Amino acid sequence: MPSTHRLLPTFFANPPLHGRVIVALSGGADSVALLCALRQRGDEVVAAAHCNFHLRGTESDRDEAFVKALCRRMDVELRVCHFDTAAVAATTGESIEMAARRLRYEWFDKLRNELAADYVAVAHHQGDNAETLLLNLLRGSGLKGLCGMADEREGIVRPLLQCSRRELTAYLAAKGEAYVTDSTNADTAYRRNYLRHRVLPLLAEANPDIVHTLHATAQRLRSQEAIYRYGLDRLLARHVVKLADRSRFSLEGLAEDPSPQTLLYEFLAPYGFGADVAASLFTDRVGAWYAAKDYLCTRTHSAIEVAPHPPHLASVALPWPQGELSLPDGRSLKCTLLSREQLDAIPRDRYEVALDCAALHGPLVVRSAEASDRFTPFGMKGSKLVSDYLTDRHRSRIDKLKALVVEDRQGIVWLAGETIDERAAITPTTRQVVRLTLTLPSGVADSHPAPSAG
């Protein structure tokens, strides 16, 4: 029998991982080879982890029984997690494959913390990396997607990434180790299986070593992407300002940078926006906006702004005659009733105003601004849409969605953070004053520092 060390020369030439390792064990050839090789090399394997996704009926239970027997024989602690994957996918709208992947890695992360492990080792090899490159190429990908898999990321390691599938099966044969086969691996309705069984054999007719070639290409691109990322970070630093409630990408000087559209895309991509949005924002008018799952972005006169979707606030009564109200986005609104003599000076800060108590009708409430809201801004004659007022003040779509109004029974008395309504202004006959103070969350800078309009 040949030495098993010679069958995985790259793997056994590397020293053991520095730390405690959990092995992801499906029972297939790759994961069984991983468990055997790590133990043979001397890595500190603290447990094996098996996911039963209950997608293949009795075959799923067969796999679980197999890994239990294998771990008993090897004296390895085994943790098993059961998932109703189909039900989860139906609830979330994910594909079965995406739901299984997410559930798997979420559990791995939890288990790693529970067992105080440093890594979860997964059994991806050269073939998996080649398939990943092709999958991303078919979907349409930039440089990052063509880099394939990393040897290590966020507590996940791939010790077998430099090994071929042929090396792994030869290693198991030399050791006399059995494994199970997932019948769905032969189903070419799955895109990865289609590439494995149809596309790669066809490409191998032109290049017999196509799997290694694609794997090596992905690794070269990963090294090159590191250089790209180095330069990109420096270019983005010239344009991006991160505020506590949003990120702002300045368009000034952008035309002088290499590939401006790509630079804008790289800014937007982490927030869930695609290349089509980046392309549109170059030609869109001021005020254009786009929504992703968790974020929205908009174009202002000189920048692109991105922020989480602001929560909508229904009418909430302000504490009376005094008190403080916490708002869903971390802001707070404080109300204080004073005599005119107690007010040293009329506030000039945009986040603090004083209103004539006699001009108010009924209790005060605060809510999110609506498209139809109108008021008479301080110092003006005639009413104006809140939206138009904010546009005149060069406020973005994000500002409009975050805008709050304080109103009584007759309408708006304060567009919070902007100006009061003319009818609520203090006059020489004012006897009592309502002071309102809007406080930003700790550490949040004013996105539009400017003198108060009222």
The CATH number of whichever domain residue 404 belongs to comes to: 3.50.40.10
Domain range enclosing 100 = 4-220
In terms of domains, do 188 and 60 share one? Answer: yes
- Give the count of domains, the chain: 3
pLDDT recorded at residue 451: 42
| Structure confidence by residue, pLDDT tens digits, 71-109 | 999 999 999 999 999 999 999 999 998 999 999 999 999
Per-residue tokens: 445: 């800078």
Residue 233 lies in a domain: no
* Digit-coded pLDDT (tens) for 427-449: 999 999 999 999 988 655 556 65
212 and 162, same structural domain? yes
123-159 per-position pLDDT tens digit:
999 999 999 999 999 998 889 889 999 999 989 999 9
Same domain, 112 and 80: yes
> Do 115 and 264 belong together in one domain?
no
Q: pLDDT band at residue 287, thresholds of 50, 70 and 90?
A: confident
Single-letter amino acid, residue 61: D
What is the rounded average pLDDT of the residues 357-362?
94
Q: According to the model, what pLDDT value does residue 142 have?
A: 85
Q: Give the CATH number of the domain where residue 158 resides.
A: 3.40.50.620
Is position 158 within any domain?
yes
Q: Are residues 251 and 327 in the same domain?
A: no
> Of 24-33, 108-117, 346-355, which gets the smallest average pLDDT?
346-355
From 308, 329, 356, the end of a domain falls on 308
Which of 262, 280, 308 represents a domain boundary (last residue)? 308
Same domain, residue pair 297 and 330: no
Q: Is residue 33 located within the same domain as residue 179?
A: yes
In a domain, 368, yes or no: yes
Q: Are residues 54 and 183 in the same domain?
A: yes
- Alpha carbon distance 164, 303 (integer Å): 49
* Domain end residue (candidates: 308, 339, 359): 308
Q: What is the mean pLDDT of the chain?
A: 93
Provide mean pLDDT across the span 337-343: 93
- Same-domain status, 295 and 262: yes
Using an 8 Å Cβ cutoff, are 68 and 78 in contact? yes
181 shares its domain with 257? no
- Judge if 200 and 106 occupy the same domain: yes
What average pLDDT does this structure show over 190-212?
A: 96
Tell me if 454 is assigned to some domain.
Answer: no
Note whether 190 and 70 are same-domain residues.
yes
Residue 448 counted as domain residue? no
- Band of the pLDDT at 301, cuts 50, 70, 90? confident
- pLDDT, tens digit (0-9, with 9 covering 90-100), for 267-282: 999 999 999 999 999 8
In a domain, 444, yes or no: no
Kindly tell me if the per-residue pLDDT of 190 is higher than 50: yes
Classify residue 453: in a domain, yes or no: no
Confidence band for 453, pLDDT divided at 50, 70 and 90: very low
What does the block give as tokens for 252? 């000034």
Q: Is residue 202 part of a domain?
A: yes
